[in-house]
Amino acid sequence: MGGLDWQGILGPGRFEPPMPSDSVHPDAASLLAWYDRHRRALPWRARAGEPADPYAVWLSEVMLQQTTVAAVGPRFARFLARFPTVEALAAAPWEQVAQEWAGLGYYARARNLHAAAKDVAERGGFPSDEAGLATLPGVGPYTAAAVAAIAFGRPAVPVDGNVERVMARLFAVEAPLPGAKRRLAALAREVGAQAPARARPGDFAQALFDLGATVCTPRRPVCALCPWRGACAGLASGLAESLPRKAAKAERPQRFGVAFWLEDEAGRVLLRRRPARGLLGGMLELPGTPWRGKMWGEVEAQGHAPARAAWLPAGGVRHVFTHFALDLRVWAGWVPVLPACGEVVPRGEVLSAGLPGVMAKAARVALRVCGEAGSASGRASFGRGCARRE
């Protein structure tokens, strides 16, 4: 490979290569040889020499956004068992998709996943290039590049956090993220333009992922095992472990809310479905107040309760979303008959009904107060507690 265009990629005065321009540069063939020996076995990854399944690749990439491989592995297998093809996913009602996605977080991904599946089914298959894939709901530049490269062998280089970290260290890019994203993506594409990478674009993309996940890790990178250690400017300059730099994050705003666990004498619980658009859109929840920047008083909060009841404080949970932190207090109440303003679920099935993470936490708090699911003694003590408040 010829010398990299440092001025064009990084801008004047931003970086001095640690070696002369005709010395060692990161070699795609070396990375691919390393990958052939050390590639991870993942549920969605085709075995060496086998064609990739576009549906499995796309599904895994959507699931892996903001979620770890360890968390996605068992959930991917379960999701695929329930919706084995993109056509099956497209034909499923949203409630089933939401239930299967519950607990993975970032629920807009599930809505977009369902919408994209319908789009793909109508088209008769996945688009095979980045431009076509990017027209699907929820598919951005990274996912389009990943599916194009891995599923269809298109010469694209998807850049996720692992790849950004590898590039920042490899070329000793000290400019902090997120401002350095464009530079790091350009460097990844430059390395990916080498003939060996273009000949095996899917393997090259996955090799970058695996290198970042197993060797060039966020903390204590195992540089001695890296196939690019001889070309790594970060290692040569002693900066590797400190890269990539990140700009200081603004403090998350704090919000407050109250959730109501309302149960009837038959041990059934009232849930409701959130509006289709917005945070946790289309997911089930405990009825409650809006979430706002100041705490709720008891009288004010009960104006949002689903029914008149003798409400008992059950506890509270804290949940951190991407853009704010939530303190959610949980109040429990009992009525002879539940109001017809939501969905009714037996107490023992609430935690398997498809609640998002924050609501599952709130339900567990209420269940601890009300007794174990299905427990007659628990219901009796709960009722006695309510009676004392009347």
Q: Measuring CA to CA, how many Å separate 250 from each of 60, 181, 294, 322, 323?
A: 30, 19, 19, 12, 10
Residue 292 dihedral angles phi and psi, to the nearest 5°: -140, 180
**Which residues face 317 on adjacent strands?**
328
**Which residues face 328 on adjacent strands?**
257, 317
Interatomic CA distance for residues 384 and 371, integer angstroms:
12
Burial of 7 (0-12, 13-18, 19+ CB in 10 A): exposed
Please confirm, yes or no, whether 298 is among the known catalytic residues: no
Given a contact cutoff of 8 angstroms between Cβ atoms, the answer to whether 319 and 279 are in contact is no
Find out whether the peptide bond into 244 is cis, omega within 30 degrees of 0.
yes
Given a contact cutoff of 8 angstroms between Cβ atoms, the answer to whether 284 and 353 are in contact is yes
The closest of 47, 4, 57, 334 to 188, measured between CA atoms, is 4
Q: How far is CA 311 from the centre of its chain?
A: 35
Among the options 16, 50, 61, 343, which is catalytic?
Answer: 61
DSSP H or E run through 367: helix 357-370
Interatomic CA distance for residues 77 and 43, integer angstroms:
7
Q: Measuring CA to CA, how many Å separate 331 from each of 68, 107, 295?
A: 33, 25, 14
Length of the chain counted residue by residue: 390
Interatomic CA distance for residues 145 and 382, integer angstroms:
54
Helical spans, DSSP H, in 226-286: 233-236
The closest of 169, 168, 193, 170 to 180, measured between CA atoms, is 168
Q: Enumerate helices (H) and strands (E) in the chain, giving the number of each.
A: 17, 6
Interatomic CA distance for residues 279 and 126, integer angstroms:
28
Q: Measuring CA to CA, how many Å separate 64 from each of 60, 142, 143?
A: 6, 12, 10
Q: Measuring CA to CA, how many Å separate 106 from each of 197, 321, 323, 356?
A: 32, 9, 12, 9
Residues classed as catalytic: 61
